[in-house]
Structure 1
Amino acid sequence: MTTANARPGATPERRTPTPQDFVEMQNSPEFQQLRKRLRGFVFPMAAFFLVWYLAYVLLGAYAHDFMATKVFGNVNVGLLLGLAQFVTTFVITGIYVRFANREIDPKAAAIRAELEGTPQ
């Protein structure tokens, strides 16, 4: 069915991209910008989390007195920092989802639509 004969509200036909189409798209400025933007977010965020996690492990291994410092009741610094690891994981996930929804997904959808020959 061609778009000229399409029923109102019908989904337009998608074409199947060829391997050459994928190679050309991978070399396109739009794709390169998308990849640079994604890497510019993911790598620093991953490095931050790994450093934060390593610091926690090293403190647990070598700073026993500091980690055992009571904050209130039976809650010590080590427990609070351990719980902060979970909080940090959820916060980073939320930040990434917001970033992806705002920055990555619209550009990726545009690239996909261009490859498949469908309007956005």
Structure 2
Amino acid sequence: MATDAPPPSKGGPGTRPAPPSTAQFVAEQESPEFAELRRAHRSFAFPLTVAFIAWYLLYVLLSNYAGGFMGTKVFGNINVALVLGLAQFLTTFLIAWWYSRHAATKLDPRAEAIKSRMEDGA
């Protein structure tokens, strides 16, 4: 039984474009737009990573070598160690939120422009 549906067209709404070649990837990697995207990511992620690791190591070192200070009661049974330990969780979530915001406003639009340019050129 024959159908009246036309054959699928090349490049129609349900088809995917051919993937970019290796040369296109290399050319894009060497472009100033990609370098700017990489700089925007690194200038945010690297300093924040170093700062968080330093903050975490400070907490560990204080826990090991400053027991008297960490055991100081803040109020009730809550001591400095507990407050700083909970602050570790808080800073983790704040950094994740901050990075998400940074990526949405600074990184994603640039990455999308690069992706669109590569898909159009493929």
Aligned residue for 2:74, secondary structure, equals: strand
Unaligned runs of 5+ in 2: 1-8
Partner of 1:68: 71
Q: Which has the higher contact order (CA 8 A, sep 6+)?
A: 2
State the superposition RMSD in angstroms.
1.6
- Once the 2 structures are TM-superposed, how far is the Cα of residue 16 of structure 1 from its aligned partner? 1.4
Q: TM-score, normalised by structure 2?
A: 0.86
Match of 1:23 among 21, 26, 30: 26
Distance 2:21 2:114 in 1: 14
One-letter identity of the residue aligned with 1:86: F
Match of 1:96 among 99, 111, 115: 99
Partner of 1:33: 36
C-alpha distance after superposition, 1:25-74 (max 9, x if no partner):
00000000000110000000000100000000010011101000000111
Matched, 1:44 2:47: yes
- Once the 2 structures are TM-superposed, how far is the Cα of residue 19 of structure 1 from its aligned partner? 0.5
Unaligned runs of 5+ in 1: none
Partner of 2:4: none
Distance 1:105 1:93 in 2: 16
Higher CA-based Rg = 2
Partner of 1:105: 108
Count, aligned residues:
113
Q: TM-score, normalised by structure 1?
A: 0.88
**Percentage of matched positions with identical amino acids:** 48
| Moved segments of 4+, more than 6 Å | none
- Cα distance change, pair 11–104 in 1 and its aligned pair in 2 (3 A): farther
